[in-house]
Amino acid sequence: MESQSVLATTCGELELRWGERTYVMGILNVTPDSFSGDGVGYDVKAAVARAKQLAEEGADIIDIGGESTRPASPPVSAEEELRRVIPVIERLAGELSVPMSIDTTKYEVARRALAAGARMLNDQWGLKGDPRLAELAVEWRVPIVLMSNQRDKGGYAAALKRDTADYADPITEIINSLKGSLKIAAEAGVPGENIIIDPGIGFGKSWQHDLEIIRRLGELTGLGKPILLGPSGKSFIGRVLDLPVSERLQGTAAAVAIGIAHGADMVRVHDVRQIVRVCRMSDAIIRRRQIGN
C-alpha cells in the first residue's frame, strides 16, 4: 500500500493522520427513504440519539444527509433538505464529541450546515454539480470529500446493463473524473491537505464495476489524496451474496478489509461498532498498528 502525499487533515478538533489508522465515518440518514432502512425522517430526537450512539460505537466523524442517494430516489429541494438536517446539526453541535460532516450537493444546505456546526463537506458530485462548494471549503477551512459519480453516464439503469468488458476501464474513468474535481478544487484555492477522494461505489457503476474498484483501489493512490470508501450494504454485496440489505454486514466487512489493504484511509458505514473492529484488525495486519493504539 502506497503512502499518501497528504500527511494530515484537520476536521474540527480531530486531526486525521493519514496512514496511521483507518478512520470510520458513521452514516446518519435524516431521510424517510434511505435504501438501508435506517433513515430517521423528521425525528430530531431520534437523530440525535442515533448520532450519539454512532460516536459511542467508535465513529470518528458523523456524516449527516437529508437527501436519499438510493437509485431512482426523487430529488429534494434545498428548503426540504434544510428542514431535515439543520435542526439535527444545531442540536448536536454542543453535545457531540466527534465532528460532523454534511452530505449534500447544494450550496445553501452546505453553507447553513457549516454555520450550524458541521466541519466537513461530502459532495457526491465532486464539485461538478455546484463548484461553489469549493468556495465554502476555502471560507470555512474545512475538508471536502470529492466523489466520482457516473450517474450522468446514462444513469443507474444503464450502469446495471454494463459489464466490465464493455465499460472500457472503470478505474481510468474514475481517475479522470477525480482529476477534473481536483482541478476545480485547486482553482478555487482549496488547500491540498483538505481534499479527500471517493471512487463512488454504486454511483453509476454496475456491481461488477464496484468489485473491480475495490480490487484496484490502490491505483487511486497515485492521485496523492486520502481515499474514502463507501461500500456499506450496497447492491454489489446483495448481488454477490444474494442477500437483502439487512443481511449485508459480513459482505461490507469483507469489502472494508480488502479496501484497507488496497489503500482506503476512511470508510463510510452504517454498522459502526462492527466495522471499527474490522478496521482495527485490518490496521494491525496492514499498517502494523500496535494493539491498543
> Annotated catalytic, 239?
no
Which helix (H) or strand (E) segment holds residue 289: the answer is none
Residues 278 and 256 sit within 8 Å (Cβ to Cβ)? yes
Residues 116 and 90 sit within 8 Å (Cβ to Cβ)? yes
Name residue 144's beta-bridge partners.
Answer: 121, 195
Q: Which of 50, 84, 151, 234 is catalytic?
A: 234
Own/partner contacts of 272-277, CB < 8 Å, gap of 24 or more, are 272/24, 272/26, 272/54, 272/57, 272/58, 272/59, 273/57, 273/58, 274/249, 275/24, 275/232, 276/24, 276/57, 276/58, 276/59
How far apart CA 167 and CA 162 sit, in angstroms, is 7
How far apart CA 51 and CA 88 sit, in angstroms, is 9
Contact partners, residue 1, CB within 8 Å, separation at least 6: 218, 221, 261, 262, 263, 286
Q: Which of 268, 277, 280, 288 is catalytic?
A: 268
Taking alpha carbons only, the member of 27, 51, 55, 29 closest to residue 42 is: 29
> Annotated catalytic, 234?
yes
Residues 100 and 118 sit within 8 Å (Cβ to Cβ)? yes
Q: How far is CA 118 from the centre of its chain?
A: 15
Q: How many CA atoms lie within 13 A of 1 on its CB side?
A: 24
Catalytic residue positions? 234, 268
